[in-house]
Amino acid sequence: MSDPQAIRVENLGRVYKIRAVKKGEARERVALTDVNLDVPRGELFGLLGPNGAGKTTLIKILTTLLAPTTGRALVAGYDVARQAPEVRPRINMVSGGESSGYGLLTVRENLWMFGQFYGLDTQTTHARIDALLEIVGLADRAHTKTSDLSTGLRQKMNIVRGFLTDPEVVFLDEPTLGLDVGASRDIRRFVRQWMAERAGRTVLLTTHYMAEADELCDRVAIINAGRVLACDTPANLKRRLQREALFKLETSPLVNGALTTFQTLPGVRKVLHAPHDGFSALDLSLEADSALSGVIGALTAHNASIISLQKREPTLEDVFVDVVGMSMTEAEKHGD
């Protein structure tokens, strides 16, 4: 209770040993390298990164399911590797796309069972189940067998399971994976409401939806290939890019050669090109508005006509491109 930091991660590293399928292949995979993070109590902290970045690995370490290879991690003031029995009663976890419990039990029965594993008395458990099911809109399904729930409803039950034990720190690993817009919004709203009502409770959430991190999190760490590349509030992260001028440009179809010309123009930082059916979309990152005239000049030289031009505010997506050096989609292709 005394530690003001809900989570402390110091020089954390994790290497997986893997069974070599072919001789001579790498037998180790580095999942995390020298990760440092502090999450104060009461914060909703986001981990943002592409597939294979190491998000789940970090969560497994923090939830005492995986030992760090190097460094250490404290949750609620206790070392996750050495003081797991102290950590476990204080935490809970929900992973997206996973089913927990038993299909033949009803929603209520499954939740009750998990409550028991945390030593909750039956009365408290049922009172909390009622309250939580109500909030996520699952109250009318309390007596449905879990095997008969749709993916989204099952995930809502999972969320309730995670919060049922009133944990000090909750880990949400892609909690909105595979959910439609409405269900994702419900879950985000629930998390925010819980944070607002339960002062001092902490949530660490992983996602690869930029908008989700932006909308929900007090602070965000961008993680790629096992390294934390940036960590700040979404606003601060975006502010770093405010020195740049960002434009969205649609033109008649461009040949690839044109792109290389743009990149060498003075004042152009980065150009992302997405060819579409019948037009090309360009994402321009310029040092200043004035550099735009050069781009337009070059377009005319390539006989391309401008369909639309729009100045826009930086998003976390831009931050990601800035710190990682490529877009999320490209990073995922790189990943595994």
Ligand X SMILES: Nc1ncnc2c1ncn2[C@@H]1O[C@H](COP(=O)(O)OP(=O)(O)OP(=O)(O)O)[C@@H](O)[C@H]1O
Q: Which residues bind ligand X (CB under 6 A)?
A: 16, 18, 29, 31, 49, 51-57, 208, 336
d(CA 21, CA 31): 19
Per CB under 5 A, the segment of 48-56, 149-157, 207-215, 326-334 that binds Mg ion is 48-56
**What tokens were used for 28?**
């180790």
Per partner kind, with CB cut-offs from 5 to 8 A, the member of other proteins, ligand X, Mg ion, none near residue 128 is other proteins
| Binding positions for other proteins, 120-139, rule CB under 8 A | 120-121, 123-124, 127-128, 130-132, 135
Instruction: Name 45's bridge partners.
Output: 204, 219
For the bound state, the minimum distance from the C-beta of residue 108 to other proteins, rounded and expressed in Å, comes to 12
Q: Are 50 and 224 in contact (CB under 8 A)?
A: yes
Cβ–Cβ < 8 Å for 269, 240: no
Contact 100, 161 (CB under 8 A): yes
Look at residue 184 and give the partner it binds from other proteins, ligand X, Mg ion, none, a contact being a CB closer than 5 to 8 Å depending on partner kind.
none
Task: Give 2's contacts (C-beta < 8 A, 6+ positions apart).
Answer: 77
Judged by CB under 8 A, which of 24, 85, 266, 278 binds other proteins?
85
Amino acid occupying residue 91: I
Question: Is residue 179 classed as helix, strand or coil in its secondary structure?
Answer: coil
| Phi and psi at residue 133, to the nearest 5° | -60, -40
Is 25 within 8 Å of 53 (Cβ atoms)? Answer: no
Please tell me whether residue 202 binds other proteins under the rule CB under 8 A: no
Give the nearer residue to other proteins in terms of CB position, either 109 or 330.
109
Site for other proteins in 16-35 (CB under 8 A): 16-17
| Residue whose CB is less far from other proteins, 4 or 89 | 89
Contacting residue, 7, 8, 32, 56, with Mg ion by CB under 5 A:
56
Burial class (CB in 10 A: 0-12, 13-18, 19+), 252: middle
208 binds, among Mg ion, other proteins, ligand X, none (CB under 5 to 8 A by kind): ligand X
Q: Smallest distance, Å, CB 328 to ligand X?
A: 10
- Smallest separation (angstroms) from other proteins to the CB of 165: 8
Residue nearest to Mg ion (CB): 56
Which option in Mg ion, ligand X, other proteins, none does residue 29 bind, with CB closer than 5 to 8 A by kind? ligand X
Buried b (16+ CB within 10 A) or exposed e, 54-67: bbbbbbbbbbbebe
Q: What gap in Å lies between CA 171 and CA 303, rounded to an integer?
A: 53
CB of 78 to Mg ion, least distance (A): 24
d(CA 322, CA 109): 48
Side-chain half-sphere exposure of 255, counting CA atoms within 13 A: 7
Write each residue from 7 to 46 as x if it is in contact with Mg ion (CB under 5 A), else as -, in one continuous string.
Answer: ----------------------------------------
Query: What does the block give as tokens for 59?
Result: 């969560």
CA gap 220, 314 in Å, rounded: 15
285 binds Mg ion (CB under 5 A): no
Nearest distance from residue 224's CB to Mg ion, in Å? Answer: 13
Q: Which pair of tokens denotes residue 173?
A: 């690993």
Binding site for other proteins (CB under 8 A): 16-17, 60, 63-67, 85, 88-89, 91-93, 95, 98-105, 109, 112-114, 116-121, 123-124, 127-128, 130-132, 135, 147, 165-166, 193-194, 197-198
Binding site for Mg ion (CB under 5 A): 56
